[in-house]
Chain A
Amino acid sequence: MELNEAARPARPTPLFPRRGGGEGALFGVMAIMSFLACLTLALALGAARLAETWERGLTGQATVQILETPGIALEVQVTAALEVLNATPGIASARVMSAAESAELLKPWLGDADLSAVPVPALIAVTLDPARPLDADALRARLSAAAPGASFDDHSRWNAGLTAASSAIGWGAYAILALIALAASASVVFAARAALQAHRDVVDVLHMTGARAAFIAREVQWRFFMLGGWAGLAGLAGAAALAGAALLAADGPEAAFLPMLAPPWRDLVWLAAVPAAAAAIAMTTARLAVSGFLARTA
């Protein structure tokens, strides 16, 4: 009897055999899908983070450009504009840029040309107060009244373009994720049907002994839940290995321009959701496929 107890399986054997149902192939497909999903999700999160970085950098700054106007000295306009800016709520500071700084800004376009003969506009660098909103239209009106040659640029043109671009990348990535989920679901449907066909003898015996369709579906769905979860983890591990290798290759300040290569912790939480999603998709789809199969064969 002692030998008998030693031979007892530690836990009840699953009712569907592990072999012969084509689950190895499904594991491979699901792992690849999860790998691609991790990379796509990292792209979406990276694009959102990049846009955020750009926006933060640009929205904190603005520029006032003052052109020479007949009848009014440039210096008079600069002084008047500074007075208006310093009196405007939402502006933290305003600083007149020196001729040397202006020349430095024009250098990429004009090279080392002598600028003394060119009417170079005066520039005022404005730092915005993030705690207080600025009424840009009212400021423009007051600047025009005080200094007719002044124009205020808060970089919103750039912001709109960058936000639209990053938003397009983000939505594109989410669309790809949806397609990956759809393809994974289709693979699970085929695999679940194939598994039931391969183990038709088991299904028949379960039916004959009075098993309800829900019981059989439950037996199958947990198998696919575990398979999806492990495949998702394998995909995540692959993506992590790739990201690690890319980080090592791009070790240096250049990595700052590739934010998807250095994800912050909160992004890693989202990536950890990929195996959970793979498990949930596998389980739900398998249950639906099995229920449909049994409804036709019971």
Chain B
Amino acid sequence: MIRFENVAMRYDGGPEILRDVSFELEPGSLTFLTGPSGAGKTTLLKLVFLSERPVRGAISMFGKDVARLRRGELPALRRQIGVVFQDFRLLDHLTAFENVALPLRIQGMPERAYREDVEEILNWVGLGERMHARPATLSGGEKQRIAIARAVVARPPVLVADEPTGSIDPEMGARLMRLFVELNKLGTTVLIATHDRSLVDNAKARELRLFAGRISQAGGSRWS
């Protein structure tokens, strides 16, 4: 589904942040990306959700070579990937409902076509009563759940989350993790970047360890 082969990445001629990174995400898999701060986890995720392009190596997504993609093809591919950003990236002037509905709205759907779906997913993340609140009035955990709901509302085959439990208490972290596991069981390929060891140990899933820009594996992986 997503395959990295000897990928290297640097910003504007700076030092290489990633080097010779190779792995593959199989459909329906749950994978953790771990490593200390500054190891390159966020940069690797940016490559996965097509925010950046590598300086070397090959990335294949859904059978397409990313290097050969035209600009006009990017939106369709990005719609296949739900992203939960570390800093949530919610739009402060929109309500929780409107933030979650964003991926459907940009597909040109009218509100009456997606209202039920959005309300259902807000109930699923436990925020049905707060759907018309704006982000400024929500707690960190609530924002995180809105961000997750937005990432999955269009049912993308791949979900990528960057430190999804970084700014919330352990109890809420465990609750969010159960959401990811549930999504994974429904068939979504999930990649979670975290430095929270307890999350990884409890989930007993495959782990990609990133250290100083290089990757290693744990948990019986299928990376090459």
Contact = CB atoms under 8 A, between A and B. Distances in A.
A17 B105 CA distance: 16
Contact of B51 (A12, A208, A215): A208
Contact of A204 (B74, B75, B89, B133): B89
A208 B75 contact: no
Nearest to B92: A17
**Which interface class (under 10, 10 to 19, 20 to 34, 35 or more) fits B?**
20 to 34
B111 A12 contact: yes
A8 B49 CA distance: 32
B62 to A, nearest CB: 13
A210 B111 contact: no
B106 A211 contact: yes
A288 B132 CA distance: 34
Nearest to B101: A12
Nearest to B85: A208
Interface string B67-96: 000011011101100010100010111110
A206 B83 CA distance: 12
Nearest to A204: B89
Contact of A209 (B78, B97, B133): B78
A298 B107 CA distance: 17
A207 interface: yes
B199 interface: no
B15 interface: no
A210 B129 contact: no
Given A7-B132, A12-B111, A215-B108, A208 B78 contact: yes
Interface of B: 49, 51, 71-72, 74-76, 78-79, 83, 85, 89, 91-95, 97-98, 102-103, 105-108, 111, 129, 131-133, 150
5 contacts: A12-B98, A15-B91, A201-B89, A205-B91, A207-B78
Given A8-B97, A298-B71, 19 more contacts: A7-B132, A7-B133, A8-B95, A9-B95, A9-B98, A9-B132, A205-B102, A208-B51, A208-B83, A208-B89, A209-B83, A209-B102, A209-B106, A210-B75, A210-B78, A210-B79, A211-B106, A212-B72, A212-B75
